[in-house]
Amino acid sequence: MTETSSLISILSTIELKLNGALAVSNNPKTF
Torsion sign (Cα): 23, 29, 30, 31: positive
Sequence-distant (6+) residues with CB within 8 A of 24 are 30, 31
Percent of the chain with pLDDT over 70: 90
- Report the pLDDT value the prediction gives residue 1, as an integer from 0 to 100: 65
The answer on pLDDT for 16 being more than 70 is yes
Average pLDDT over residues 15-22: 92
Q: Which residues contact 30 (CB under 8 A, 6 or more apart)?
A: 23, 24
Quick one: pLDDT at residue 31?
Answer: 55
Mean pLDDT of 9-26: 91
